[in-house]
Amino acid sequence: MQQISQADIAAMAPRYRVNFINSLSGFKSLNLVGTVNAAGQSNLAPFSSVVHLGADPALIGMVSRPDSVPRDTLNNILHTGWYSLNHVDADMLQQAHQCSARYPEQVSEFAATGLHEAYIEPCPAPLVAESPLSMLVEYKEHHRLSINNTILIVGQIHHVRLRDDVVRDSGYIDLEALGTLTCTGLDSYHRTQRISRLAYAKPDQPVREVDSSD
Amino acid sequence: MQQISQADIAAMAPRYRVNFINSLSGFKSLNLVGTVNAAGQSNLAPFSSVVHLGADPALIGMVSRPDSVPRDTLNNILHTGWYSLNHVDADMLQQAHQCSARYPEQVSEFAATGLHEAYIEPCPAPLVAESPLSMLVEYKEHHRLSINNTILIVGQIHHVRLRDDVVRDSGYIDLEALGTLTCTGLDSYHRTQRISRLAYAKPDQPVREVDSSD
């Protein structure tokens, strides 16, 4: 076993620590967040912090870094009240990664990377036409962490667009069949291979598999 | 393209909606959260909502459902100020899933599933001996969402224990080499297969791969 103490973490070079700590949470969701500003300029940014918050109402969260420097995505969400979340598959991976480059505010990442905008009423923010799964999200509330000014953005899911019919009988969406990718750290992208789906656990029953159609 | 409107979501049967909405955020981290109560009783629960919040200080978040019913993990964290996060690999998957069963409060999920407790000072909460990567986390703050009473728990990482030496030159931890799993929805577990690691994106440069040692 390798042990890394708090003193070891404190002594890490800043860039090394960023890579190390970013790896610890485990595999991450990968979404492109589409927004638009007051002038109608579209913006597209990769986020690896999207997290489920509730099914009824259908709520989803994401973490924005502190707004001590301008954050186009956060500003646009607070101004328009809307954003889109778009899964990323292997065909659009390089374009999605390139959206993390610091383009000038007047350059749309759609134009810069060749990804295409799509629109669904009533959301003024663009979806990514190439994405296998897109959602329209309406801003609801945000929370600023006292400890480092990071911001949790909370939104309600209004509409879902899926490329293929991969919704199973139970309502489960087979994201692996859809080609959705996952990521680790700041720069690593992964496909997945299902091991199993396991039935609702009960104290007095052994673990069992779910039917593949369910 | 398959379109699912807000009216479609509202009309879903509750269990179907839970499975559907839980799938939308994408691939999720999978961690067992180890805690202990005031009487010294250990507790172990799977969470799929652990998210990176910052590298310096090293902060990590997770989402707890509303405390309208007793939540042992949340109560134990608030009482002791400490918890552990433990990645899950294929060898311990069935035991990890079984920890989601509703055991009586006086039954430890460690004893019920056969996973083993380990302790590292100064954390009073147990780590999972079988886990490929464990962290000690000190509680810092929490935020309750107005919209559904869900709680974001924020903690600082104090110590990291890794089974193998998979920390690369840049500080990146190769979780795929470690065997860490990811999950989707409420019940599906996946291995991963790396597509690529991509260098820090710049507006005027093409996308390029990172060296595998980095």
pLDDT one-digit tens code per residue, B10-60: 999 999 999 999 999 999 999 999 999 999 999 999 999 999 999 999 999
- Measured in angstroms, the CA of A38 and the nearest CA of chain B are apart by 23
Contact: B189, A195; criterion CB under 8 Å: yes
Among A66-80, B89-103, B122-136, the minimum mean pLDDT is found in A66-80
Residues A28, A20 contacting (CB under 8 angstroms): no
For chain A positions 90-119, those within 8 Å of chain B (CB to CB) are 90, 93-94, 97-104, 107, 112
Which residue, among A208, A181, A206, A195, has the nearest Cα to A50 in the 3D structure?
Answer: A181
Query: Looking at the complex, does the CB of residue B55 fall below 8 Å from at least one CB of chain A?
Result: yes
Contact: B159, A194; criterion CB under 8 Å: no
Asked whether the predicted pLDDT for residue A213 surpasses 90, the reply is: no
Q: Which amino acid is at A159?
A: H
Measured CA to CA, the distance from residue A57 to residue B157 in angstroms comes to: 32
Among A122-136, B62-76, B130-144, B181-195, the minimum mean pLDDT is found in B62-76
ipTM of the complex: 0.97
Distance set, CA B69 to CA A169, B32, B42, B52, B66 (Å): 29, 20, 19, 27, 7
Contact: B24, A173; criterion CB under 8 Å: yes
Contact: B26, A26; criterion CB under 8 Å: no
- The pair of structure tokens assigned to A149 is 């000014």
What would the pLDDT profile of A146-174 be if each residue is shown by its tens digit?
999 999 999 999 999 999 889 999 999 99
Residue A211: pLDDT band with limits 50, 70, 90: confident
Q: Which pLDDT score is estimated for A164? A: 86
Contact: A90, B55; criterion CB under 8 Å: no
Distance set, CA B100 to CA A38, B20, B33, B97, B157 (Å): 46, 19, 11, 6, 24
For chain A positions 139-198, those within 8 Å of chain B (CB to CB) are 140-141, 143, 145-148, 150, 152, 154, 156-165, 167-168, 170-173, 175-176, 180-182, 184-198
Q: Output DSSP code: residue B24.
A: T
CA distance from start to end of chain A: 40
What mean pLDDT is reported for chain B?
Answer: 96
Mutation target to probe the A interface, by most A beta carbons within 10 A, among B19, B27, B105, B143 is B27
Mutation target to probe the B interface, by most B beta carbons within 10 A, among A23, A99, A119 is A23
Residues B212, A211 contacting (CB under 8 angstroms): no
Q: Which pLDDT score is estimated for A128? A: 98
Asked whether the predicted pLDDT for residue B112 surpasses 90, the reply is: yes
Asked whether the predicted pLDDT for residue B67 surpasses 80, the reply is: no
- The pair of structure tokens assigned to A63 is 């973490």
Buried b (16+ CB within 10 A) or exposed e, A64-91: beeeeeebbbbbbbeebebbbbbbbbee
Provide the number of CB pairs (under 8 Å) joining chain A to chain B. Answer: 367
Q: Which pLDDT score is estimated for B20? A: 98
Asked whether the predicted pLDDT for residue A68 surpasses 80, the reply is: no
- Closest alpha carbon within chain A to B152: A152
Contact: B53, A148; criterion CB under 8 Å: yes
Q: Which pLDDT score is estimated for A71? A: 85
Which element (helix H / strand E) includes B42?
A: strand B42-47
Residues B113, B98 contacting (CB under 8 angstroms): yes
Query: Looking at the complex, does the CB of residue A9 fall below 8 Å from at least one CB of chain B?
Result: yes
A48 contacts on B by Cβ (under 8 Å)? 52
pLDDT, mean of residues B114-136 = 97
Residue A70: pLDDT band with limits 50, 70, 90: confident
Q: Which pLDDT score is estimated for B144? A: 97
